[in-house]
Chains A and B, each alone.
Chain A
Amino acid sequence: MKRITDLSSFNAAHEAGLKKLLPAAGRIAVGMGTCGVGNGAEGLYHALSDGIQGRGLGFHLAQVGCYGPCSEEPLVNVWLPGKPLVILHKVQAQDVAALLDDLSAGRIPEELALCKVEEWDHITGRVKYGSGLPDLPKWDEIPFFAGQSKIVLRNCGLINPGDIEEYLAVGGYQALYKVLIDANPEMVIEQIKAAKLRGRGGAGYQTGLKWDMLRKAVADQKYLICNADEGDPGAYMNRNEIEGDPHGLIEGMVIGGYVTGATEGILYVRAEYPLAVHRLNLAIQEAEERGLLGENILGRGFSFKLSLVEGAGAFVCGEETALIQSLEGRAGRPTPRPPYPAESGLWGTPTNINNVETWYNVAPIVVKGPAWFTETGSPKSPGTKVFSLVGKVQRTGLVEMPLGTPLKTFVYDIGGGAPPMKTVKSVQTGGPSGGCIPKEMFDTPVDYETLAQLGSIMGSGGMVVMDEDNCMVDVARYFIEFTHSESCGKCVPCRVGLDQMLAILNRFTAGKATEADLGMLDELSRMIRDMSLCGLGQTAPNPVLTTLRHFRQEFEDHLRAHRCRAGVCENLALSPCENSCPLHMNIPRFLELLKADRLEDAFLSVVMDNPLPASTGRVCQHPCDNRCRRAGIDEAVNMRDVHCYIADSIYKGGRYDEMIERVLQHRFPPTGRKVAIVGAGPTGLTCAFYLAMMGHSVTVYENNADAGGMLRYALPEYRLPKSVLDDELKLIYRLGVEFVFNSVVGETITLNDLSTMYDGVFLSIGTWKETWVYLPGTELKGVLHALPFLEALSKEEQVPLGRKVVVIGGGNAAIDSARTALRMGAEVTVIYRRERKDMPAIPEETEAAEDEGVKYVFLAAPHRIVSGEEGGVVAIECAKTTLGEFDSSGRRKPVPTGEIQRFECDTVILAVGETVDLDFLKASGLKLKEKEKMLDVSPFTLETSRSNFYAGGDLISGASNVSNAMGYGKKAARNMDQKLMGAFRWPKLWPEFEYSMVPPAHVSECRRHHIHELPADERAKGFMEAVTGLTAVEAMEETGRCLRCDIREGNH
């Protein structure tokens, strides 16, 4: 290798490199970072190499680092002269033959392409590849890269890290050359200061100031250290930077050495990064051979030695003083500062430590100047930062974004949001000692100060996205477990404090925490934060402090309700399905009982858990499906339809009366206590059932003439036949529950009356009032509201309906109205302002409606209803919308485009939401919340501000669904009984069921059985039930598909 000593030899190497980047025969480069290799890139590389040699092709085959999008690996980039560079993704060894066929024929295999690069800005230089391939998106046009700004990662994935000439070809070592020729170190330090480059290791201290201190320190020997001991779980930016572009790091350090007067540099690299260590060693050797490192660099008389030390495998060695201890051969334990390393560091000499990424920013600042650098990022924190975006997003990988970019850009735009059917809940930034930021705060710009204000840190740039399946208590516990095991043990707060904190968090996740623990957790966190010796201890409590601040409810749930909503904490749930069920049905039990052919026992199990099993079996939103572990194998067990089958079989089987007697056997003796329930909807009925079972005398007040609430008056006959509901009510009547119909509480009877007449009152009024919307034309004849429309029909009243009906809305009420109107002979269009996937309605219902002939128009917001000459509706005008920014629900906000669409129609049904009777709420004198729209109750007991008055369902949650509503009724009954009787009698209500608690030897391999829809044209003709349930054989097969997650070691 020829040493570079002057401009001509420098340029010669530059040219030689360009020939490798843009060879006449074309180039194929395989992304072979650790990530690529882990995804099979090595096999791919060898297959390509064999193929090229075997066929005698002239392509230049190279290894490159990683280009960033982890979820697209393995990546291959191909270039043919005159054409753009094309990044191919998810390339497999079996694609190689076809790939080489294509390339040798001068074709780019566009079906494998992710994006193209026409020209790349390496910052220190530019490479023009070519143009063409108009169908391929440019790299920064695909969502993952949109908004990214590659300064640190300028060369990663494009040049061969093992070839110094390729680095020279893209302008490498020019900055060093310039600095050595200018021979003005102070000016360089001024430039770094002016660029306000801040330490990228997380603390964010000004690099220029640190350099200045080292330059001014008087000593024979001074050291520069690069901290590449990246130890955060889930963070791998430094690894990829080094693996992709080792010379970029070396150049930064040599410049640093020259301007600070340091004589020696040390790279402290994590030992668990063998590939990075290998490439860096190779690069050091190459740079020395070329005269770019070592003695007399570039012939300018400056010498700088660089050596590599493999880290000791301790997270705490990321702390600079511990790192120095480790380099000196001692155990990595931090020492107090002062003295600071700039005065007395390695071997007692002045030392400067910077993170890998900080060094990568040096050459670009030298070449382009500080003014260019400060154009990117925020005023206080210019430049970019590389983040590893991982967790519950659709696209993961390394992203380099300007500092100050809002969090939501990372989560939604780059990451693509949560996986289907899930919602993002929080992002944890900064590695194990960072904090968790809730989705409501995703507008937060990601910079040092703002993150610190929220109790988090930038750290090394980890970004872990979490969704509703993550338990925040468990998340906090996990991170404390990590920092606890990585604590060096030197100082008391960190060593013992974290151990005590972990013990407390373990009590939370095991459901054994006490009220005192909650306060102690907070108190310990503050003490450890303020009293610890080094950054590890000072930041370790961040995950606890932020989850306590933003997700306190989850801690309280674990503590007071012994409940883990995410279903992560195993000790707090029977099984994932039970945990997700608002009624907490023991699903594995009824499945097992039916499997053992014990239909009547299965019914007893079902009905004791859920007094309306056939109704919910038809209309429940089945959250259990989303949590079923069987879905990881094929599809979730069809739990809802099995319990519907069980209930239907009993109701129709002729032994229902005997079953009722069996249920009544479990009833507690009369207590003499009297309870009133207001509202005979699913919530009130559920509460009535349980309170009556516990021996109380129950009276239900209902303003309609019959019981059932929404089940009777809002759900159309084709979804829930009234005869099914009547069957279920039989049991409640037999329990002796009294009903007072046509009675309006607040008018015919007051709350004070109830208070004097009863020992306890439960309020469960549904959401019958339509939400007021501003829409010109709503007063017109022919404009209907969904619920009154459905209610009138269920009462068999005459409703005048036109021929062409437009339904506005995307919820279940909208779909029910549409399918009902269709059955009345109308032509129906549903208009919804967002996209189909955003519709709150049950997807099966949406599809069934479409099959029957309902048309959908998405991304359209009603603008005005147009009246005809006779005052009726003739059309509705809608504004087309596009999807704008993400709102706090994680969905994109519809934004009107201004373009108006017109739909001819004679009837408009508004199904845009319902609320409870606000006048009733205000007159009740009870404490309200949420802008006076809901009743304020204790979340754990459901008791209102008035003693012995409880509330549940829509009154406290807003419009919800049947199962959620019933869950409240069940919970209220449990708490009311405890208050009335002064004892916790609830568990005694359940009979002992003997059933197998042995994991099934054979789990059915059968696929999920679905209920059977009648043919669309047939069912659309009338109001007969649109589906038929599972057959006996199908239900039995479903029971065999259950994996029995309820069986765990030690619980049988």
Chain B
Amino acid sequence: MDSKITIRIDGELVKADRGSTIFETAKAAGKRIPGLCNMKGLKPVGACRLCMVEVAGVNRLLPSCTTPAQEGMSVTIHSARLDAYRKQALELLLSERNHVCAVCVSNGHCELQSLATALGVTNVRYGYRYPKLGVDLSHPRYVLDHNRCILCTRCVRVCAEVEGAHVWDIAGRGIHSMLTCEMNRTWGGSRNCTSCGKCVQVCPTGALAEKGFAVEEMVKRTTSVERLAVVRGGSR
């Protein structure tokens, strides 16, 4: 069996490794599909829904991060509907918590912020929720600011799948979902945390950061963790 297949992305023929996802195939071909929860080396969860694409012959939208590319598939990354939906999803994320970019450590280096710029989100039409959320400063080296968390679960997965510590999980449900540390411990009180900092580096926003950094100073090294994750054999 040939290890390569051919699919069509936005009209263009693209070679793909058999078994790779639409997201990976597009990326390899230099076509970026927007996304916030997906990360190379981590098990995809299909949570942010920004990477949804249209596939010819399928009457619903499919998450490109979990859908395998198949021979002959014709994928549309950009359509009026998809672009509008993605903008809506970003607006929803921005309205959910207190994303005050101007005073955020990740200002200028934030995936949420730069995606908003790229997709033309200039304002949020939904009412800001202004939830009252805490900041966990108990860890000697790191900070968890729930105000900036988008619940992408990259930290949960990198800690469980790559570091093997399983410090993080999601508690609660619906709009009350919260990142939680080991059955509701403070981060500083964690028994399993190895202080490796992978979670901080993969966090797309300013929710997880190193202490000692001021506004705009926190630059994440996501790609180096990606490389490590792939070596460690996290799924895909």
Q: Do chains A and B touch in the complex (CB under 8 A)?
A: yes
A contact residues vs B (CB 8 Å cutoff): 314, 316, 331, 333, 335-336, 338, 484-493, 495-500, 503, 516, 520, 523-524, 527, 530-533
Residues of B within 8 A of A487 (CB): 173-175
> Can you list 8 A-B pairs with a CB-CB distance of less than 8 A?
A333-B170, A338-B66, A485-B174, A492-B89, A499-B175, A500-B92, A500-B127, A533-B47
Q: Given A489-B151, A530-B85, A495–B175 Cβ distance below 8 Å?
A: yes
The 8 closest A-B pairs by CB, nearest first: A489-B177, A496-B92, A336-B46, A487-B174, A336-B66, A499-B175, A500-B126, A531-B49
15 extra interface residue pairs, beta carbon distance < 8 Å, beyond A496-B175, A524-B88: A331-B170, A486-B174, A487-B174, A488-B173, A489-B172, A492-B47, A492-B50, A493-B89, A495-B96, A498-B175, A499-B174, A503-B127, A530-B52, A530-B60, A532-B49
Contact, CB under 8 Å: B172 / A533: no
Residues of B within 8 A of A499 (CB): 96, 129, 174-175
Instruction: Choose among A485, A489, A491 the residue that contacts B170 (Cβ–Cβ < 8 A).
Output: A489
Instruction: Choose among B44, B49, B174 the residue that contacts A488 (Cβ–Cβ < 8 A).
Output: B174
B window 7-56: CB within 8 A of A: 44-50, 52
Instruction: Choose among A314, A335, A491, A520 the residue that contacts B126 (Cβ–Cβ < 8 A).
Output: A520
A491 and B68 CA atoms in complex are apart in Å by 20
Closest Cβ of chain A to B179, distance in Å, is: 11
A93 and B91 CA atoms in complex are apart in Å by 61
Contact, CB under 8 Å: A489 / B174: yes
> Nearest B residue to A484 by beta-carbon distance?
B174
A497 and B44 CA atoms in complex are apart in Å by 22
Instruction: Choose among B63, B127, B174, B177 the residue that contacts A336 (Cβ–Cβ < 8 A).
Output: B63
Name A's interface SS: helix
Closest Cβ of chain A to B166, distance in Å, is: 12
> Nearest B residue to A337 by beta-carbon distance?
B66
Is B176's beta carbon under 8 Å from chain A? yes
Residues of B within 8 A of A516 (CB): 125
Contact, CB under 8 Å: A335 / B45: yes
Q: Which of A331, A333, A336 counts the most B-chain CB atoms under 10 A from its CB?
A: A336
Is B95's beta carbon under 8 Å from chain A? yes
A297 and B126 CA atoms in complex are apart in Å by 60
Residues of A within 8 A of B48 (CB): 491-492
Contact, CB under 8 Å: B125 / A520: yes
Q: Given A336-B63, A336-B66, A520-B125, A491–B95 Cβ distance below 8 Å?
A: no
Is B93's beta carbon under 8 Å from chain A? yes
> Nearest B residue to A332 by beta-carbon distance?
B173
Contact, CB under 8 Å: B44 / A531: no
> Nearest B residue to A529 by beta-carbon distance?
B60
Q: Given A489-B151, A491-B47, A531–B85 Cβ distance below 8 Å?
A: yes
Residues of A within 8 A of B183 (CB): none
A335 and B48 CA atoms in complex are apart in Å by 13
Contact, CB under 8 Å: B95 / A500: yes
A956 and B235 CA atoms in complex are apart in Å by 68
Closest Cβ of chain A to B93, distance in Å, is: 6
B window 120-149: CB within 8 A of A: 125-127, 129
Residues of B within 8 A of A496 (CB): 92-93, 95-96, 175
Contact, CB under 8 Å: B96 / A533: no
A533 and B66 CA atoms in complex are apart in Å by 11
A335 and B60 CA atoms in complex are apart in Å by 17
A295 and B151 CA atoms in complex are apart in Å by 47
Closest Cβ of chain B to A1039, distance in Å, is: 44
- 1/0 contact string of B54-66 vs chain A (CB within 8 Å): 0000001101001
A533 and B95 CA atoms in complex are apart in Å by 20
> Nearest A residue to B50 by beta-carbon distance?
A492
B contact residues vs A (CB 8 Å cutoff): 44-50, 52, 60-61, 63, 66-68, 81, 84-85, 88-89, 92-93, 95-96, 125-127, 129, 150-151, 170, 172-177
Contact, CB under 8 Å: B173 / A530: no
A843 and B14 CA atoms in complex are apart in Å by 77
Contact, CB under 8 Å: B52 / A489: no
A625 and B151 CA atoms in complex are apart in Å by 53
Closest Cβ of chain A to B204, distance in Å, is: 13
A499 and B130 CA atoms in complex are apart in Å by 13
Residues of A within 8 A of B174 (CB): 484-489, 495, 498-499
Instruction: Choose among B52, B84, B92, B176 the residue that contacts A497 (Cβ–Cβ < 8 A).
Output: B92
> Nearest A residue to B172 by beta-carbon distance?
A489
Q: Which of B50, B61, B66, B172 counts the most A-chain CB atoms under 10 A from its CB?
A: B66
A490 and B61 CA atoms in complex are apart in Å by 17
Contact, CB under 8 Å: A489 / B173: yes
Instruction: Choose among B92, B95, B129, B170 the residue that contacts A493 (Cβ–Cβ < 8 A).
Output: B92
A495 and B49 CA atoms in complex are apart in Å by 12
Q: Which of A333, A486, A491, A532 counts the most B-chain CB atoms under 10 A from its CB?
A: A491
Contact, CB under 8 Å: B175 / A533: no
> Nearest A residue to B129 by beta-carbon distance?
A499
Residues of A within 8 A of B85 (CB): 527, 530-531
> Nearest B residue to A486 by beta-carbon distance?
B174
Contact, CB under 8 Å: A531 / B89: yes
Contact, CB under 8 Å: B89 / A527: yes
Residues of B within 8 A of A490 (CB): 45, 47, 151, 170, 177
Contact, CB under 8 Å: B88 / A523: yes
Residues of A within 8 A of B61 (CB): 530-531
> Nearest B residue to A503 by beta-carbon distance?
B127
> Nearest B residue to A314 by beta-carbon distance?
B173
Contact, CB under 8 Å: A492 / B66: no
Q: Given A496-B96, A531-B52, A338–B68 Cβ distance below 8 Å?
A: yes
Closest Cβ of chain B to A970, distance in Å, is: 35
Residues of B within 8 A of A486 (CB): 173-174
Contact, CB under 8 Å: B49 / A492: yes
A520 and B126 CA atoms in complex are apart in Å by 8
Residues of A within 8 A of B84 (CB): 527
Residues of A within 8 A of B89 (CB): 492-493, 527, 531
> Nearest B residue to A339 by beta-carbon distance?
B66
> Nearest A residue to B86 by beta-carbon distance?
A531
> Nearest B residue to A493 by beta-carbon distance?
B49
Residues of A within 8 A of B44 (CB): 336
> Nearest A residue to B62 by beta-carbon distance?
A336
Closest Cβ of chain B to A341, distance in Å, is: 15
Contact, CB under 8 Å: A484 / B175: yes
Residues of B within 8 A of A338 (CB): 66-68
A485 and B177 CA atoms in complex are apart in Å by 11
Residues of B within 8 A of A489 (CB): 151, 170, 172-177
Instruction: Choose among B46, B88, B175 the residue that contacts A491 (Cβ–Cβ < 8 A).
Output: B46
Residues of B within 8 A of A533 (CB): 46-47, 49, 63
Q: Which of B63, B89, B173 counts the most A-chain CB atoms under 10 A from its CB?
A: B173
> Nearest A residue to B153 by beta-carbon distance?
A490
Closest Cβ of chain B to A315, distance in Å, is: 10
> Nearest B residue to A520 by beta-carbon distance?
B125
> Nearest A residue to B61 by beta-carbon distance?
A530
A926 and B150 CA atoms in complex are apart in Å by 56
> Nearest A residue to B92 by beta-carbon distance?
A496
Closest Cβ of chain A to B96, distance in Å, is: 5
> Nearest B residue to A499 by beta-carbon distance?
B175
Closest Cβ of chain B to A320, distance in Å, is: 15
A333 and B63 CA atoms in complex are apart in Å by 17
Residues of A within 8 A of B68 (CB): 338
Residues of A within 8 A of B176 (CB): 489
Residues of B within 8 A of A493 (CB): 49, 89, 92
Residues of B within 8 A of A497 (CB): 88, 92
Residues of A within 8 A of B172 (CB): 489
Contact, CB under 8 Å: B175 / A527: no
A928 and B176 CA atoms in complex are apart in Å by 52
Closest Cβ of chain B to A433, distance in Å, is: 15
A331 and B180 CA atoms in complex are apart in Å by 13
Residues of B within 8 A of A491 (CB): 46-49
Closest Cβ of chain B to A509, distance in Å, is: 16
Residues of A within 8 A of B129 (CB): 499
A489 and B49 CA atoms in complex are apart in Å by 13
Closest Cβ of chain B to A510, distance in Å, is: 14
Q: Which of B49, B60, B125, B172 counts the most A-chain CB atoms under 10 A from its CB?
A: B49
